[in-house]
Amino acid sequence: MVFFKHTLSAICVFLLALVVADPQSITHNETFVPDAVLRVSTSNISQSCYPSKSTVLVNGTSPGPELRIKEGITYWIRVYNDMTHQNLTMHWHGLTQAMAPFADGTPQASQWPIPPLHFFDYEMLVPIGMAGTYFYHSHVGFQAVSATGPLIVEEDQVPCAYQYDEDKTVFLQDVFTKDDSTIEAGLVASPLSWSGETDMILVNGKGGGSANGTVCNASLSSINVQPGKTYRLRFIGATTLTFASLAFEGHDLEIIEADGHYTQPHNTSFLQLGTGQRFSALLHTKLNPEKSTYYLQLESRERPTLTRGFAVLNYGPKPSTPFTPPSQPPLTLPNTTLGFLDYELHPFSAPTDGAFPTAQEVTRRVTLTVHQRVSGQTVWIQNQYDWTDAFPAEPYLVSLYKNDSIEFPSMQRALSNNGIDPISRAFPAQIGEVLEIVIQNTGADSGGLDVHPYHAHGAHYWDLGSGNGSYDAAANEARIAASGPPVQRDTTMLYRYAMKTTNGTVMGWRAWRLRVSQPGVWMVHCHILQHMLMGMQTLWVMGNKTEVLGKVGYPDVAGYLQYGGSVYGNASRWPSVVHFTDSWVDEQ
């Protein structure tokens, strides 16, 4: 669904802000009209070649409807949990959400989940300059495998950096034969019972091809184009596991955006898209196509079996019968994955002075040493700690407000423990610090290595690149100086540089740099859902107690502090919520 508000609303927000200095709870009764509504339910459906099973859907489909919003304007999106036996949240993947602390959709960090048969009004305001390609997904259990959909942020006043005739979304998802509850139970079982490999890669909800050599002859999505035009294709990596390599027959791509930031144009014959990543690329269609259909071929990388899917770039009329996969794959996609686009993508506009912090400005480096531990239950740990759905007992931000089960993270304790406070299990950071976060791959207990798309909530990071071994700050700075400024991202890959090494051997890093400016409680985690459920998540508390909790006084947030509290509406009660962006706009 597309919905637009007039620029006037932005002005209204500003005027209102002058009046409402101290936001109070506002009841969203029948006079309140949300900007969009999403209804989440379960249904037995069949995807691709696979038998029907219980699946979490948004507005009855997977992916759910596309949302289009504009930067610089406050939106309220009402999310109904129509399920009778499952909790729900909605996360707005890539949006920073710094101005609406309870609206990030993380059940372990920012909010209690929406109870069955309740709804929650999510507030969002995308800062000017962050128009781009995003998506939404549940952050509960394995629901995001299907409970997800595109979220496109458009420019309000400034023109788009690039010109094109039309934009189209290419939304990638995985299908598994097992249902969500079986997968979840298996991942926390001792010993581990794996989810199985991806049975098919879907494009816009459809897909066929082959999985581990078994043919799946299901109908394909069609991307309909006309000759001699320029299309902006918005690729969204909403897979749960698949690190996809993909290319079109006979057409190159010109990358123009990565994770919500315009880049200088970069031509490529193929793309790699990890879980959680997004790219926009211009596709220039042929003036005189030799045939009416060309395949888009997608393959999983860095997994023990190969899953191959297809979609169709269609110049012709809408076919009378659906397109099906080719009998032979038309393309040979590159097998290597290492360092894709690192040091090659640059911001569309050179960063303004001071925006990209220099190496000299870095005040602290935190290394996240990731490791797979097998001792009964198989878990992924970072600096010796895992973070599974079983921890913490209540959302972290709620605990900080209530000052009950979790102590505010201590910087002093963290500084002597590799950046993590062992008591509160958080990574604290101070406003004004310039952090380097280095994610360091190591051999598992078994010696195995894996690939991880690391995703950050709360802010986008300057992506400093990746390499084998361990991070060498001076060498990397020289490389950046020679190649030009990096882009800001919210999800980038930690690679593996061998299939196997020995237990604990340090092999492969990724580095980010950030000037800490927005107080809040933010997750940083691997975006592979299986790995998340196996503990591969961290929590960061940016800012001190006053900065994190002081924005709104305690009485106003009381409704957020209990499961099913007054901020959650249901059939007999309207929700009472704080309008956070009013005070946020006021402060700017």
Give the interface with ligand NAG as residue ranges (CB under 6 A).
1, 26-27, 29, 31, 36-39, 44, 53-54, 59, 65, 67, 85-87, 112-113, 197, 212-213, 217, 252, 254, 265, 267, 284, 302, 305, 324-325, 327, 335, 403, 445, 468-469, 497-498, 503-504, 507, 544-547, 563
Separation of alpha carbons 267 and 13, rounded Å = 40
**CB of residue 115 to ligand NAG, shortest distance in Å:** 6
> What residue 7 binds from ligand NAG, Cu ion, none (CB within 5 to 8 A, per partner kind)?
none
Q: Cβ contacts of residue 194 below 8 Å, gap of 6+? A: 186, 187, 530
Contact pattern for Cu ion over residues 87 through 106, marking x by CB under 5 A: --------------------
Separation of alpha carbons 106 and 523, rounded Å = 8
> What residue 307 binds from ligand NAG, Cu ion, none (CB within 5 to 8 A, per partner kind)?
none
Instruction: Characterize 305-320 residue by residue with b for buried, 16 or more Cβ atoms within 10 angstroms of its Cβ, and e for exposed.
Output: eebbbbbbbbbeeeee
| Selected binder of Cu ion within 528, 541, 561, 578 (CB under 5 A) | 528
**CB of residue 265 to ligand NAG, shortest distance in Å:** 5
Strands across the sheet containing 67-70: 67-70, 148-154, 132-137, 91-93
Helices (H), 371-491: 396-402, 411-415, 473-483
**CB of residue 336 to ligand NAG, shortest distance in Å:** 8
DSSP secondary structure letters along 484-512: -PPPEESEEEEP-SSSB--TT-EEEEEEE
Question: CB-wise, 54 or 416, nearer to ligand NAG?
Answer: 54
Question: CB-wise, 128 or 434, nearer to ligand NAG?
Answer: 434
Separation of alpha carbons 577 and 588, rounded Å = 22
Question: CB-wise, 188 or 558, nearer to Cu ion?
Answer: 188
**CB of residue 27 to ligand NAG, shortest distance in Å:** 5
In angstroms, how far is the first alpha carbon of the chain from the final one? 31
Measuring CA to CA, which residue among 35, 39, 40 is closest to residue 2?
35
> What residue 410 binds from Cu ion, ligand NAG, none (CB within 5 to 8 A, per partner kind)?
none
| Selected binder of Cu ion within 49, 256, 526, 552 (CB under 5 A) | 526
Binding of Cu ion at residue 370 (CB under 5 A)? no
Question: CB-wise, 17 or 451, nearer to Cu ion?
Answer: 451
Separation of alpha carbons 305 and 199, rounded Å = 10
* Strand, helix or coil for residue 176: coil
> What residue 305 binds from ligand NAG, Cu ion, none (CB within 5 to 8 A, per partner kind)?
ligand NAG
**CB of residue 92 to ligand NAG, shortest distance in Å:** 14
Q: How far is CA 455 from CA 107, 132, 290, 587, in A?
A: 16, 17, 41, 28
Question: CB-wise, 307 or 490, nearer to ligand NAG?
Answer: 307
Query: What does the block give as tokens for 576?
Result: 């009472």
Separation of alpha carbons 452 and 495, rounded Å = 7
Question: CB-wise, 64 or 458, nearer to ligand NAG?
Answer: 64
> What residue 442 binds from Cu ion, ligand NAG, none (CB within 5 to 8 A, per partner kind)?
none
Exposure on the CB side of residue 336, measured as CA atoms within 13 A: 5
**CB of residue 318 to Cu ion, shortest distance in Å:** 40
Separation of alpha carbons 297 and 129, rounded Å = 33
Binding of Cu ion at residue 533 (CB under 5 A)? no
Q: How far is CA 534 from CA 193, 202, 453, 491, in A?
A: 11, 24, 15, 19
Q: How far is CA 559 from CA 24, 25, 30, 310, 577, in A?
A: 12, 9, 19, 47, 8
> What residue 544 binds from ligand NAG, Cu ion, none (CB within 5 to 8 A, per partner kind)?
ligand NAG
Question: CB-wise, 64 or 276, nearer to Cu ion?
Answer: 276
Separation of alpha carbons 403 and 358, rounded Å = 37
> What residue 212 binds from ligand NAG, Cu ion, none (CB within 5 to 8 A, per partner kind)?
ligand NAG
Cβ atoms 260, 316 nearer than 8 A: no
**CB of residue 494 to Cu ion, shortest distance in Å:** 8
**CB of residue 482 to ligand NAG, shortest distance in Å:** 19
> What residue 452 binds from Cu ion, ligand NAG, none (CB within 5 to 8 A, per partner kind)?
Cu ion
Binding of Cu ion at residue 137 (CB under 5 A)? no
Measuring CA to CA, which residue among 364, 365, 351, 369 is closest to residue 454?
369
**CB of residue 138 to Cu ion, shortest distance in Å:** 18
Question: CB-wise, 477 or 574, nearer to ligand NAG?
Answer: 574
Contact pattern for Cu ion over residues 443 through 462, marking x by CB under 5 A: ---------x----------
Query: What does the block give as tokens for 382?
Result: 């970072």
Cβ atoms 153, 499 nearer than 8 A: no
> What residue 61 binds from ligand NAG, Cu ion, none (CB within 5 to 8 A, per partner kind)?
none
* Strand, helix or coil for residue 345: coil
**CB of residue 405 to ligand NAG, shortest distance in Å:** 10
Binding of Cu ion at residue 531 (CB under 5 A)? yes
Question: CB-wise, 77 or 490, nearer to ligand NAG?
Answer: 77
> What residue 526 binds from Cu ion, ligand NAG, none (CB within 5 to 8 A, per partner kind)?
Cu ion
> Can you give the binding site for Cu ion, defined by CB under 5 A?
452, 526, 528, 531
